[in-house]
A and B are shown apart, each in its own frame.
Chain A
Amino acid sequence: MPVLWIILIVLALAAVGYVLGSRRALQQVDGDIRQLHSRPSYYGWNVALYVMVPSFIVMLIWLLAQPLIVERSVSRYLPDEAISEGESRGLVLNQVGQVAGTLRAAINQDVLTRPEALSLTVDDQDRLDLMRENGLALLTQQPILDAAQHNLRITQAGATWLSIIVILLSVGGLAYALWRTNPEFRARNVVEQVIRYILIGCSSIAIATTVGIVLSLVFESINFFQLYPWTDFFFGTEWTPSFGGGSELGLLPLLWGTLYISFIALLVSVPIGLFAAIYMSEYASPRVRSFAKPMIEVLAGIPTIVYGLFALVTVGPLLRDWIAQPLNLGDTGSSVATAGIVMGIMLIPFVSSLSDDIINSVPQSLRDGSLGLGSTHSETIRQVVLPAALPGIVGAVLLAASRAIGETMIVVLGAGAMAQIDVNPFEAMTTITVKIVGQLTGDNDFASPETLVAFALGLTLFTITLALNIVALYIVRKYREQYE
């Protein structure tokens, strides 16, 4: 039975349980609500929760555990002879999974019936031809096909048992909760306790996401470092992946490109953002401010793909024709400068909004004191307000830097894909994010270092940005407390 159906059945049972529960509570007191501990709807909710919560928990755990158990069982089923030399067990298991997927597709598209699929052998030319006609080519050896059929069989058995257990559980929950319903039963307290746990569960998703990110990055990176020495990755200066093997996968050219582009982006965004923030918080009349601030913040709401296209179509050719070619610095539109300048425009609002907040939080008494001593407005800003706001501004710049390092679409479209270490800003270079996209799009074989390197790159990126964010948040927060 498909999972969707099971969910719908459980939900229907819950709805029935709600009606039965509240009605039963009312019946027991002959419609006199005052004799009930809680309002009738709480008795209904109590029953519905007893139906839903255990069955959904069991279902979730089952669905998460089933692939692991299936894989282990198939692995035990697969004889050692089936694994030819030079192949790992994981690779063969991957093949088994693909063959099983093809068989399942054949059953779903009514090309084969289930018994036919389960009894298929590699010599059965008629059925194989039938599958090929329907676009389901099956090229494999007998042991793998056997293992795939075994996989299909236990998955099927698992699905059957899952539906039986879940539905029994929800019916049982319904009966138990109805039996417990009586006027003294503290339904509201129970319901509220359950809701509280649900709320805690929802909050924990943030932790689950972080754990998921870290686990997926770390596990695949470990796989990568087993295939490729970590010293070559972290200290290699060559990036020449080739899917035939013998690749050089050095991080340094990518790191250089990333830092160089981010540096140019900050060179553009920090002065503009900072001066814009100073003007808006110190000089601008409320009317100018109410116009300029949202206009600048629009820049932050524009999707990065739009900036990417802008870099590719407009800014790149412009820089090439007006600066790079006349000065003999290069003749490519995709360059560090293109991506850096466009990214700088994107980052202006990040710098200006945060700086604006921080400048505004400098107490007026400091300004009054300085003005009272006879300094001009700009002297007050330069010598009193900015030094007081400096830690916060540094934090804002660090946050912008971590955005720049993690930015993808602008560099994918604007900076080119040449992995090189060069100081000329009009040369094409590439970044960590571009290479993650490059290595993971297209048909990937998850056993080759050329694909797995993307996870190591992701881990590097995650670590760098996380460190920057933590430092930045620490500085911003610590500074903000000073005047409170």
Chain B
Amino acid sequence: MTDTTPEFAPVDPSRREAKSLLAVDARTRRRNAAESRFKAYGIGAIAIAILALAWLVITILSDGLPAFRQTYATVPVTLSAEVVDPKGNRDPAEMSSVFTLSYGQLLTDGIKTYLAENSIDIPNLSDTDIADFFSDQARTTLRTQVLTDPEMVGQTVEVPALTSARVDGYFKGRVTMEQAAIDSRTSPEQLMLADALKDRGALETKFNWDFITNADASETRPEAAGLGVAIIGSAYMMLIVLALALPIGVAASIYLEEFAPQNRFTDIIEVNISNLAAVPSIVFGILGLAAFINFAGLPRSAPVVGGLVLTLMTLPTIIIATRAALKAVPPSIRDAALGVGASRMQTVFHHVLPLALPGILTGTIIGLAGALGETAPLLLIGMVAFVQDIPSAPPAGFFEPASALPVQVYNWTNRADPAFFERASGAIIVLLLFLLCMNLLAIYLRRKFERRW
């Protein structure tokens, strides 16, 4: 009270005279200004947060959307028999002895013939420029096609061939003529060739299914790198997390919420769960490395270890959500069931649990979404390995090396070629789409089963 006491002292009469009810005095104006300033800070804070979100999303979209489109060149390629099938008996086993390099020569010849026939003349266009015009992957693809269909030998075919990352980047605005002049891996002539082909319709940029289905590719061919293995690896891990974390989490919550007595043991469990929810994710990675790989001897880079680690990480989230859902079921339901002679176990499993199920599912989906985006622990258990083979079907596939979506992003950001940054952003778009779908599903479930008692 002492602070306010002077306010009640007699006010100077001159001040009192000047005061009208309608005029706002200086002090009130100051206070009102402070009021609106304070409000503006709040609006500013919210605006900054939302702008940051928008900035993040727009950057990722503008960087990543080009990864879904890829440039292919379609020129007639003559698969001359003496090159691809020197023995002349159309036997794939013998044809497989032909190196991919020879197929690259065929592609180069195809372009040269095409240029001559259409009388396109590009000054200073060297053979290396034409050879580098295609991705290394293009000749491998062509070889595979010929080996699976030996009838193609001797014919002139038009198959879309993957162009190199620089040519592709030229049409996406990533590579310019000026840059090409100083870049050792492309040249302005190459880009002029690309323009010429584009004018005649022999070059097109189309939707890139390979980005979603292919495996990762080596450092030198970003244009061929895809997400296939990462998507499968992530899916396997999510399956393991769902199969383990959901039942264990629900069982633990049922015990703690419905049966646990108030004693030391349950206290320790409660404290443990809230602590685990806040342990840094990388510590779970160390646990996985020490316990599952070094001690239990499970294979490195395998979805099973990743799944187990993510299960342990996700459990607290699921337990907290499930307990909230169980708590929301009114006691009258339990009383009614007990009243007609059900045991406590029957009450919980036949009546409470079904009513809490939508809440449990929502919490589980949110936990899974968190696990899907987790990177750090997976780095420690060796999911960074370069994996080219798509893992087989479960359960054997759980023990084979795989990648995961966020780790694939991390892998690509570690590579020098700027084309990999585009791929990384594209992979993030895929990841965010998955997360969006999961969250929409969670919102839908909550809306659909929302119940008021």
Contact = CB atoms under 8 A, between A and B. Distances in A.
B409 A305 contact: yes
Contacts of A409: 375-376, 406, 410
Nearest to A310: B56
B48 interface: yes
Of listed B32, B38, B315, residue having the most chain A CB within 10 A:
B38
Given A206-B273, A408-B375, A381 B38 contact: yes
Contact of A216 (B45, B255, B290): B290
Interface size class of A (residues with CB under 8 A): 35 or more
B295 to A, nearest CB: 7
A4 B395 contact: yes
Contacts of A299: 49, 52-53
Interface in A438-476: 440-441, 446, 454-455, 458, 461-462, 465-466, 469-470, 473
Given A345-B52, A406-B280, A458-B282, A313 B59 contact: yes
Contacts of B32: 376
Contacts of B247: 202
A309 B424 contact: yes
Contacts of B63: 313
A366 interface: no
A387 interface: no
A292 B252 contact: no
B81 interface: no
A306 B60 contact: yes
Contacts of A307: 56
B42 A303 contact: no
A157 interface: no
Of listed A203, A210, A437, A455, residue having the most chain B CB within 10 A:
A203
A327 interface: no
A308 interface: yes
Identify whether the interface residues of B are mostly helix, strand, loop, or mixed: helix
B278 A461 contact: no
Contact of A466 (B259, B273, B279): B279
Given A199-B259, A437-B282, A469-B275, A272 B48 contact: yes
A200 interface: yes
B195 to A, nearest CB: 28
A199 B252 contact: yes
A348 to B, nearest CB: 5
A379 interface: yes
A275 B379 CA distance: 36
Contacts of A280: 42, 46
A303 B234 CA distance: 14
Given A216-B290, A306-B432, A292 B282 contact: no
Contact of B380 (A207, A399, A440): A440
B41 interface: yes
B413 A308 contact: yes
Given A206-B276, A436-B380, A305 B428 contact: yes
Nearest to A312: B413
Contacts of B406: 303, 305, 409
B242 interface: no
A67 interface: yes
Of listed A195, A216, A446, A466, residue having the most chain B CB within 10 A:
A216
B340 interface: no
A455 B282 CA distance: 11
B343 interface: yes
A114 interface: no
Contact of A195 (B345, B384, B410): B345
Interface in B175-215: none
Given A207-B272, A433-B282, A306 B56 contact: yes
B369 interface: yes
B316 interface: yes
B101 interface: no
B56 A302 contact: yes
Interface of B: 31-32, 34-35, 37-39, 41-46, 48-50, 52-53, 55-56, 59-60, 63, 247-249, 251-252, 254-256, 259-260, 266, 268-269, 272-276, 278-287, 289-291, 294-297, 312, 315-316, 319, 343, 345, 369-370, 372-376, 379-380, 382, 384, 395, 406, 409-410, 413, 421, 424-425, 428, 431-432, 435, 439
Given A275-B46, A446-B294, 4 more contacts: A67-B295, A203-B252, A279-B43, A306-B409
The 8 closest A-B pairs by CB, nearest first: A406-B280, A279-B42, A303-B373, A216-B290, A275-B45, A378-B38, A202-B251, A408-B376
Interface of A: 4, 64, 67, 188, 192, 195-196, 198-200, 202-207, 209-210, 212-213, 216-217, 219-220, 271-276, 278-280, 282-283, 292, 295-296, 298-299, 301-310, 312-314, 345, 348-349, 352, 376-379, 381-382, 399, 402-403, 405-409, 412-413, 433, 436-437, 440-441, 446, 454-455, 458, 461-462, 465-466, 469-470, 473
24 contacts: A196-B259, A198-B251, A202-B252, A203-B251, A203-B260, A203-B266, A209-B312, A212-B287, A279-B43, A279-B46, A292-B50, A296-B50, A301-B439, A304-B375, A305-B406, A305-B410, A312-B413, A376-B32, A377-B35, A381-B38, A437-B380, A440-B286, A465-B279, A470-B275
